[in-house]
Structure 1
Amino acid sequence: MPSCNYQTLVRENYRRLSQALPGFTPRREQNYLVAEIGKVLLGRYDSSRRILVAEAGTGIGKSLAYLQAGIPWARINQKKLVISTATLALQEQLVDKDLPLFLPHCQPGFRFALAKGRARYCCARRLSDLAGGVSQTELFGPGATTAAPLTTHQQTQLADMWQSYSDKSWQGDRDSWPTPIDAILWQQVQAERHSCQPMLGHQHCPFHLARAELEQADVIVVNHALLLADLSMGGGIVLPEPEQCLYILDEAHHIAAVARDQGSARLPLRQLRRSLEQFNKWQSKLNDLLGADGQAAIGKLQHSSSQLIPALNQVYRQLFSALQRQDLRTDDQGCLRFSPGDLPCGLDETLSTLKEDSQTFCRALGPVNSQLAEQLKLKPSQAAAIEAALAMISQQQLQGEQLRDGCALLLRAPGPKHTPPARWLELDPKDKQEILLCVTPLAVGHLLEQWCWSRAAAVIMVSATLTALNDFGYFRRAVGLRADDGSHYLRLNSPFDYASARLVIPELTCEPTSQDFDELLATQIPFWLQDQAASLVLFSSYRQMKQAAVALRAQGHSLLVQGEASRQALLQLHKVKCDGKQPSVLFGTGSFAEGLDLPGHYLTNLIITKLPFAVPTSPVEEAMAEWITLCGGNPFMQLALPEASRKLIQACGRLLRTETDSGRIVLLDKRLISRRYGPALLQALPPFTQELGKAIPQTGS
């Protein structure tokens, strides 16, 4: 359809929406964002690469903007619109508010659905069998004998769940059940990858019904983890194939980190070995289920597992012996990071063997899985036993793939253009005999290019914080975009009156690196809480937060501290106190610095105790800093400072949430005015009214 028709649809949809909403106020920035998304989708900037990276400040109305621009284009071009978010709160806002709000005013019309992972749905057959009294051992094989018997409460809950599913008052997903479901109980009824497939006659199971609904939907809301899991497997597994999708990645600053998690592996060596040994003993039961026709496949499986177990044991013995001899030494947290290059203790050779044996094992599982699926059709009377076998095969398939892929990543050699992964081992704090081999890719941009950017019909990435130090370079490098690849960049400021908010940086006696800083916080925080109705104090560590909480409570302060109750409960109590004209003080760490929405009188005083520099003590951060140094770079300038800038903007963004909000931000870190990098961090912040070096009392007296 010609572009003018698309533009006409967008304008007409906007006209209907604006006329229908009472008190509708046009937002210039929102309209500009709609227009720029439209230009990218129409190929005005680059017809072969329709990618937009848009930083849109708080209050612009990003979600309604991308719905107005994206839905008509996707419908006209017969593409699916996939909206991916990082937080459940934004998913709920889209599904419960924004999409229903836009739906009556949009032409063409559309259907929308929320996509969730398979494990969020129950397996109807498992639920039926467990509610009917089938034993856990019969259902789940040898591993179930160690599980505690179902309690009376669990049995009652299972019966209620089955009744509600049977009478169609519950659709079988964990999130919509009205009361919490115990994690151990849910594991016994959840759908699994290999034991719940349409070919097995499970078309009416909750997951497949939900997947059928996705196929009918024009707009699909998903989280970043599920999206990247699907893309990493080639796409088209749960969600449509990338070529058929317009992706809108909201909260896009999380994409690189989620992609890194998706490519990571953690191999608990003893646990994997025990699981394989248990599976090896159990395999004789396959003879009863498959009969003579399955002997060849069973024989290959038994041979492959008998090779894999000693290969896994060899890796474990090498590491355990080296740790006992102290050839390898872990830090106080039981962690030891491996530097780039060959692995210690001759691990390269044994891991290569383990990788090959894992691959052989995975291949041997396939034919057995297929034959079991056929037997399920032929012998419905043995459905429970066959499903137990399929569940066991599924578990081993996942573990085999985990071993194969983890070994491959651990063995990846760095090249001139290839950033090596972070590799380390951990000792399990609960089981000192357990050794975990861990590996995480540091650079994921090439994966995102391969999975998505080069394949998608179009990609729109939006967030309130995509720049660092006033530049898109840090984000662009993290997600694998180039300055000259045709992607378009846009930065829109928030319509909020930032000048009405004060940013205070007092002149303090010491910096956060000083051993006296904890004592300083115990006097400074109470000073800045005086005569304040609604306060949020953000810390960079749980230790410092708890220590400050003890000190302030000893002074008589009433505090709501993260971790002492659920986030929802703390926020609800905070709002009740604010509504009742009682002073309220929230203490939180990094997770409270992002996504927390306390508009109006619920937050007028924000205290940030220190700049959010990541402490390079995790293996991933250490490995990244080491690699940047080896390449001749400066880890602080290239990694720590840009990330601190982004996080500081996020934290300051908690204060102003509506156009009428006002208040004060107090930053108790003098490095902003004493260090050379301070001005760059300040310039990247919104234009608050700054009070720098304010002289205040240095003690609580």
Structure 2
Amino acid sequence: MDDLVQSALAEYDRVVAAVSGYRARPGQREMVCSVARAFATADLRTNEQTPSSDAENPVPPPARRIEVISAGTGVGKSLAYVVPGVHIARARGVPLVVSTATTSLQGQLVEKDLPALSAAMERPITFAIAKGRNRYLCLSKALRLAGDGPTADLALDHEDDDVSAPTAETAGRPAKAAANESRIEFVRVLQDKLDQGWDGDRDTLLEPPPADLWAQISAEQTTCTARGCPQFRDCAYYKARDRLRAVDVIVANHSLVLAAVGTKILPPLDEALWVFDEGHHLPQTAVDQFAAEVDLTALRWIDRLPRIIDKVAAGLDHTTARPATQPAHELKAALSDVGRLLFDLYSSALSKGNTYRFKGNQLPEFALEPLRLANAQAIALLSIMDELVTVIRERIRDRPEHKALWSTLFALLGAHVPRLRAVIETTDLLLDEEVTATTARWLSATPSVRGVAIKLHACPVLPGPLLSRELWDATRAAVVTSATLTTCGSFNWFLEEAGLDQDIAVQTQAVASPFDYQRQGEVVVVRTDASPRQRANFQSEVSTRLAHDLLSVKAGALCLFTSKQHMVNTYEQLPDGLRDRVLVQGSRARASLLASHRSQVEAGDPSILFGLQSFGEGLDLPGRLCEYVFIAKLPFSTPTDPVGEARADYVESRGGSAFDEIVVPEAGVRLLQWTGRGIRTESDEATIVIYDKRLTQTQFGQRILGGLPPYPVRQQPSAFGAT
């Protein structure tokens, strides 16, 4: 494999030489070497040996390699993984899959980085974005909804638990009739767009369609018969999937990768080279992906199940082994009873915050038996539907001339499968005593069209085991990278969160930024008189101090807060002349704020952005756009959501400290991100002002400070100007 690594490095050298004005960076070449070694040495399933039955000469297990690379700002990560990744992927006959956490990085890759690298490589790169099915139009659903085609009389039952409010055009008519007219008109508009060349991709529409209407005509795995569908040749989703099979680079996102495991949307994990950029988001993505919930109040869909099952059985001329009426009745009664009893017991607690987490993650005893019953009846209903699905698949195979009918019957059943699966998955997590300590369980109450929606939730709190089981165990060759994979100067936190701490295939590497932080930047720690624990006094002092320090801003600056209220109060206390220079997050669209900021700075006027966490990550403000970063307080986040609280309880129950093991590492990552907004290029200079003396005066603060780039650090008493 050394030859493959060397040829990848040679390709990198050619690309660097081909880009006018580009200067090679030592850290980038170091990263290219690591990526090339990982991708060249791992054994992929497409070219591994067949397992031997010879006990004396067994084939060794396939070699795996997962390279975890913390690449400082300015390294140029995308070039460092794309060039060797594409080169080796082509040589091995597999695709390179690049997964990101944000649409902004996806856009940067597809619109900027990949086209530029393609132009510089000897052989141009082909690439495409992978999306979930629900981003594409299902033409069969649309035709049925519009009343077109041979099975229009079997159109899906669109009656829902909540009926949307009528529009001005439909007001005065019965709600259901008005809703049907809106749906049909919506489909007619999309059909016109298809005739005009639209590709069926929701994201290419100039105006995003209403979410409730799109959900009724979007592609779904549970309603799709694939080649058994009469519209298969024109299917937007399958056309997009075919395009993915022909490209060098597939650009995806972390949520899709985790959701697509075991499906055919993306290549199998062991038959591709994988890059997880913005890899620090993987743990939270996993937690979000495996959360489950069941609605205990919107249950009319259960009443419709027996009717739908009977309709499908009649269309197939098939008698099911068991009627659906009784299990449907018992399922609805069980869920309804649980919802009523839980709401009666916890209504006072719910009125204070819309959620109630069960103490010790233990549900009250009276809820367990109804939940067991609900689980059993949902499984029974799914079994009845599976019986019919088996018959439908046989009919598609044996009587394809009626595929329009078979696909419609399949869709009628499949539309309700996700809800049944949600009942089963949620009740499984709620009832499994073995995972009680590591599963958050809570009740929520939120306003709905019909009153209050009561839901039961369950969510694993440890992302590591989830990622290990669902992602890494089957992955042969991967690179995980980000500028913030270390916290407090160590990989340990990320590796544990990502399920990689015990994986022998993992190698870590920290690639230094090309920036000269000693020369380009400075951290000023302001020793406020008030402690952050003295919330009112501290915020007042910081606001006053900020008003003074902001006067020093001559170009662009970013001021980051941990509290929206503190941000608003500080803005309102600014003198009129200074307030005119400030653009506050949330006052208008982000893109508009950033455009105004840029235009003001380019015109020679000072401009100051006030923002929260989302402005602290991913905001690219090079040069004069950000010469100061003001941080009102260390970005600690005390767990207040059910999952965070359950995670903290789990750590404490094992004799650990939630503050040391969760809060401090998370704050370290955030502060690294926030301070990183200041220096974006090798010519930038920025001053980072942090109004929190704990950074230098506490042990945990020193841990966090040790994880920042090597800025010179200066301390200032509150009475003197930091700038």
Q: CA deviation at 1:483?
A: 5.3
Q: Distance in 2 between matches of 1:411 and 1:422?
A: 12
Bigger shift: residues 343-352 or 23-32: 343-352
The secondary structure found in structure 1 opposite 2:474 is coil
Aligned CA distance change for structure 1 residues 60 and 146 (closer, same or farther; 3 Å) = same
Q: Distance in 1 between matches of 2:492 and 2:183?
A: 52
Query: Is 1:256 equivalent to 2:283 in the alignment?
Result: yes
Match of 1:202 in 2: 231
CA contact (8 A) 2:274 2:479 kept: yes
CA contact (8 A) 1:412 1:420 kept: no
Match of 1:399 in 2: 419
Q: CA deviation at 1:259?
A: 0.6
Q: Distance in 1 between matches of 2:186 and 2:153?
A: 20
Match of 2:159 in 1: 143
Aligned CA distance change for structure 1 residues 340 and 412 (closer, same or farther; 3 Å) = farther
Per-residue displacement from partner, 1:405-427 (whole Å, max 9, x unpaired)? 11111222247xx9521111112
CA contact (8 A) 2:678 2:688 kept: yes
Match of 1:102 in 2: 117
Match of 2:383 in 1: 363
Q: Distance in 1 between matches of 2:503 and 2:609?
A: 45
Bigger shift: residues 156-165 or 7-16: 156-165
What letter corresponds to residue 201 of structure 1 in structure 2?
Answer: P
Q: Distance in 1 between matches of 2:8 and 2:540?
A: 58
CA contact (8 A) 1:510 1:670 kept: no
Match of 1:538 in 2: 560
What letter corresponds to residue 71 of structure 2 in structure 1?
Answer: A
CA contact (8 A) 1:342 1:348 kept: no
Aligned length: 683
Q: Distance in 1 between matches of 2:590 and 2:479?
A: 31
Query: Is 1:422 equivalent to 2:440 in the alignment?
Result: yes
Match of 1:574 in 2: 597
Match of 2:247 in 1: 217
What letter corresponds to residue 547 of structure 1 in structure 2?
Answer: N
TM-score, scaled to structure 2? 0.87
Match of 2:336 in 1: 313
CA contact (8 A) 1:504 1:692 kept: yes
Identity score, percent: 31
The secondary structure found in structure 2 opposite 1:69 is helix
Match of 1:650 in 2: 673
The secondary structure found in structure 2 opposite 1:79 is coil
CA contact (8 A) 1:509 1:698 kept: no
Match of 2:81 in 1: 66
Q: CA deviation at 1:334?
A: 2.6
Match of 2:294 in 1: 267
Query: Is 1:562 equivalent to 2:585 in the alignment?
Result: yes
What letter corresponds to residue 146 of structure 1 in structure 2?
Answer: V
The secondary structure found in structure 2 opposite 1:201 is coil
Q: Distance in 2 between matches of 1:404 and 1:553?
A: 58
Match of 2:303 in 1: 277
Q: Distance in 2 between matches of 1:484 and 1:195?
A: 38
Alignment match of 1:183 (pick from 190, 195, 211): 211
Q: CA deviation at 1:370?
A: 5.0
Bigger shift: residues 509-518 or 258-267: 509-518
CA contact (8 A) 1:510 1:517 kept: yes
Q: Distance in 2 between matches of 1:339 and 1:246?
A: 44
What letter corresponds to residue 495 of structure 1 in structure 2?
Answer: P
Q: CA deviation at 1:256?
A: 0.8
What letter corresponds to residue 247 of structure 2 in structure 1?
Answer: A
Q: Distance in 2 between matches of 1:154 and 1:270?
A: 25
Q: CA deviation at 1:368?
A: 3.0
Aligned CA distance change for structure 1 residues 139 and 503 (closer, same or farther; 3 Å) = farther
Q: CA deviation at 1:267?
A: 1.7
Q: CA deviation at 1:585?
A: 1.9
Match of 1:162 in 2: 191
Bigger shift: residues 150-159 or 350-359: 150-159
CA contact (8 A) 1:611 1:648 kept: yes
Q: Distance in 2 between matches of 1:214 and 1:238?
A: 9
What letter corresponds to residue 294 of structure 1 in structure 2?
Answer: H
Match of 1:627 in 2: 650
Q: CA deviation at 1:151?
A: 11
The secondary structure found in structure 2 opposite 1:530 is helix
Match of 1:21 in 2: 19
CA contact (8 A) 2:39 2:477 kept: yes
Q: Distance in 2 between matches of 1:136 and 1:615?
A: 54
Match of 1:508 in 2: 528
CA contact (8 A) 1:334 1:427 kept: yes
Per-residue displacement from partner, 1:153-179 (whole Å, max 9, x unpaired)? 998875553233234x32111111223
Match of 1:607 in 2: 630
Q: Distance in 2 between matches of 1:303 and 1:152?
A: 34
CA contact (8 A) 2:277 2:482 kept: yes
Q: CA deviation at 1:572?
A: 1.5
What is the root-mean-square deviation in Å for CA atoms of aligned residues?
3.1
CA contact (8 A) 2:67 2:507 kept: yes
Query: Is 1:354 equivalent to 2:405 in the alignment?
Result: no
CA contact (8 A) 2:38 2:66 kept: yes
Per-residue displacement from partner, 1:506-563 (whole Å, max 9, x unpaired)? 1212133212233223312221211312121111122322333333376760232222
CA contact (8 A) 1:339 1:623 kept: no
Bigger shift: residues 485-494 or 276-285: 276-285
Bigger shift: residues 662-671 or 309-318: 309-318
What letter corresponds to residue 252 of structure 1 in structure 2?
Answer: G
Match of 2:3 in 1: 5
The secondary structure found in structure 2 opposite 1:256 is helix
Q: CA deviation at 1:331?
A: 6.8
Q: Is there any run of 5+ residues in structure 1 with no aligned partner, and where?
A: none
Q: Distance in 2 between matches of 1:635 and 1:131?
A: 55
Q: CA deviation at 1:98?
A: 2.0
TM-score, scaled to structure 1? 0.90
Query: Is 1:674 equivalent to 2:682 in the alignment?
Result: no
Q: CA deviation at 1:192?
A: 2.3
Match of 1:289 in 2: 315
Q: Distance in 2 between matches of 1:128 and 1:349?
A: 43
CA contact (8 A) 2:525 2:690 kept: yes
What letter corresponds to residue 536 of structure 1 in structure 2?
Answer: L
Q: CA deviation at 1:16?
A: 2.7
What letter corresponds to residue 253 of structure 2 in structure 1?
Answer: N
Aligned CA distance change for structure 1 residues 369 and 553 (closer, same or farther; 3 Å) = farther
Q: Is there any run of 5+ residues in structure 2 with no aligned partner, and where?
A: 44-60, 167-177
Query: Is 1:447 equivalent to 2:450 in the alignment?
Result: no
Q: CA deviation at 1:589?
A: 1.0
The secondary structure found in structure 1 opposite 2:416 is helix
Per-residue displacement from partner, 1:320-358 (whole Å, max 9, x unpaired)? 34236x7xx447203221233642143233222222222
Query: Is 1:551 equivalent to 2:573 in the alignment?
Result: yes
